[in-house]
Amino acid sequence: MKKKTALITFVCLICVAAMAQQPQQQSQSQSQPQSQPQRRRPQIDYNARYAVKDIGIHDPVMAKEGSTYYLFATGGGLSVMSSNDGMETWKFEKPVFEERVASVRDRIPGWAPDIIYHNGMWHIFYAVSAFGKNTSIIGHATNKTLDSSNPDFKWEDQPKIIESIPYRDMWNAIDPNLIVDEDGTPWMSFGSFWDGIKLFKMTNDMSAVAEPQEWRSICSRQRDFNLDDANPGDGAVEAPFIMKHGDYYYLFVSFDYCCRGKNSNYKVAVGRSQKVTGPYLDKEGKDMAHGGGSIIVEGNQDWAGIGHNSAYHFDGKDYFIAHAYSMADNGASKLVIREITWTADGWPVVEW
Residues with catalytic roles: 59, 238
How far is 178 from 150, CA to CA, in rounded Å? 25
Q: How many CB atoms lie within 10 A of CB 285?
A: 8
Helix, strand and coil content of the chain, in percent to the nearest 5, comes to: 10, 40, 50
Residues 6+ apart with CB under 8 A from 307: 239, 254, 255, 258, 266, 267, 268, 322, 323, 324
Closest CA to 74 of 25, 27, 38, 109: 109
How far is 111 from 165, CA to CA, in rounded Å? 17
* CB 279 within 8 Å of CB 287: yes
DSSP letters of 251-278?
Answer: EEEEES--SSGGG---EEEEEEESSTT-
Chain Cα centroid distance, residue 236: 15
Q: What are phi and psi of 182, to 5 degrees?
A: -65, -15
Sheet strand arrangement including 177-180 = 177-180, 186-190, 197-201, 216-219
Closest CA to 196 of 285, 55, 292, 326: 292
First to last CA, the chain: 34
- Alpha carbons within 13 A on the beta-carbon side of 19: 9
How far is 140 from 177, CA to CA, in rounded Å? 12
* CB 136 within 8 Å of CB 128: yes
